[in-house]
Amino acid sequence: MRRCDVAISCVRRLLLVIPALLCIALVALLMHGSSSPEKTVDTAICAFEKGDTEALLAMIDPDRLSFPYARENALMWLAVQRRAIDARGGLESIELLMINRTEHKAYATIRLHLKDGTMADRTMAMIERDGHWYFE
């Protein structure tokens, strides 16, 4: 194999590797730095609609969950909310009304549309820690 052929072969391999590395870097960037209050609320809405309490617990500020019985209290609160919604015939939909955001804090207001025709607004405090948004 001539020296020129070896150089061309190396360039071809490099051209195949560079896009793959860029793709990996882009995915890592999106996964790490893409958290926002809006995305966190959207994820929480989906988790609540599915009844995925573990996903909801993962969205609570880890510092708050470190207190004694915090996990149990959060699970109890979720169960109470679910029972209140079920008592009104269930959940029709959840609408994000607004988010008031400062640098590391946010307040998200959602509207619950219940199957009995009523609506209920809730405001939730959020905090940013290490680039991720959590509910307080």
60 neighbors 74 (Cβ within 8 angstroms): yes
Q: Are residues 79 and 131 in the same domain?
A: yes
Q: What is the pLDDT along the chain (136 residues), one digit of tens a residue?
A: 566 565 555 445 544 544 443 334 333 333 334 489 999 999 998 898 888 999 999 999 999 989 989 999 999 999 998 999 999 999 899 999 999 999 899 999 999 999 999 999 999 999 999 999 999 9
Q: Are residues 67 and 7 in the same domain?
A: no
Q: Are residues 19 and 52 in the same domain?
A: no
Q: Are residues 9 and 19 in the same domain?
A: yes
Question: pTM for the full model?
Answer: 0.67
pLDDT of residue 22: 38
Q: Are residues 20 and 40 in the same domain?
A: no
Q: For residue 52, what are the domain limits?
A: 35-135
Q: Are residues 24 and 65 in the same domain?
A: no
Sheet with 91-101, side-by-side order of all strands = 91-101, 105-114, 119-129, 132-135
Q: Are residues 44 and 93 in the same domain?
A: yes
Strand 105-114 vs strand 91-101: parallel, antiparallel, or unpaired?
antiparallel
Q: Are residues 64 and 90 in the same domain?
A: yes
Domain containing residue 123: CATH number? 3.10.450.50
Q: Are residues 18 and 77 in the same domain?
A: no
Q: Are residues 89 and 61 in the same domain?
A: yes
What's the structural domain count of the chain? Answer: 2
The Cα–Cα gap between 105 and 45 comes to: 19
Q: Are residues 111 and 74 in the same domain?
A: yes
CA atoms within 13 A on the CB side of 1: 8
Q: Are residues 61 and 117 in the same domain?
A: yes
Contacting residues for 11 by C-beta, under 8 A, at least 6 apart: none
Which of 65, 110, 71, 69 minimizes the C-alpha distance to 91? 110
The Cα–Cα gap between 33 and 35 comes to: 6
120 neighbors 111 (Cβ within 8 angstroms): yes
